[in-house]
Amino acid sequence: MIRYLIRRHSPLLNAIPDLRKMDKDDIGRLGENIAARYLYAHGGKVLYRNYRAPMGGEIDIVLRHGKILAFVEVKTRTSDAFGRAADAVDFHKKELISRGAHSWLRLLGYPNIPWRCDIVEVYLKPETVPEINWLQSAFTISDLHQPRPRQWTRRR
């Protein structure tokens, strides 16, 4: 019931933002706030936001959705003139997410839990409420499995 009320009455999800007074960073932060509220309203539990791995890598939102751990990338756009927001998640961005997710899993001791990589597209268009698309399992990263034990070689 509470999640329904949040979906129905949340100012972040239902307000029309004034984009003229915002710069690029403000729009990105607003998009992440909207995405976090949207994910919570749709059954997710936000565990961490803006995780930065020690050796590089980043994750916008770490989310528990049921029994699944999701690493979420949020892409906010004020127009769809240049294509979908999810198309901006290129190889370089996936590599950053991979490093961040690997670091997060290392902190947890590589638990045997299912995980996925999601993208949330937030479109903030003038004079309308935000449009949100949640792409679950948007991409896979094959090198995120448990690390292999280090093979030591003997020098002679």
pLDDT for residue 148 is more than 50: no
- Considering the entire predicted model, what is its pTM? 0.80
Q: From CA 40, how far away is CA 51, in angstroms rounded?
A: 18
Domain boundaries, the chain: 2-141
The CATH number of domain 2-141 is 3.40.462.10? no
**Using one digit for the tens of pLDDT, what is the confidence trace for 63-85?**
999 999 999 999 999 888 888 99
**Using one digit for the tens of pLDDT, what is the confidence trace for 89-113?**
988 899 999 999 989 999 999 889 9
Q: From CA 90, how far away is CA 70, in angstroms rounded?
A: 18
Strand partners, 122: 76, 132
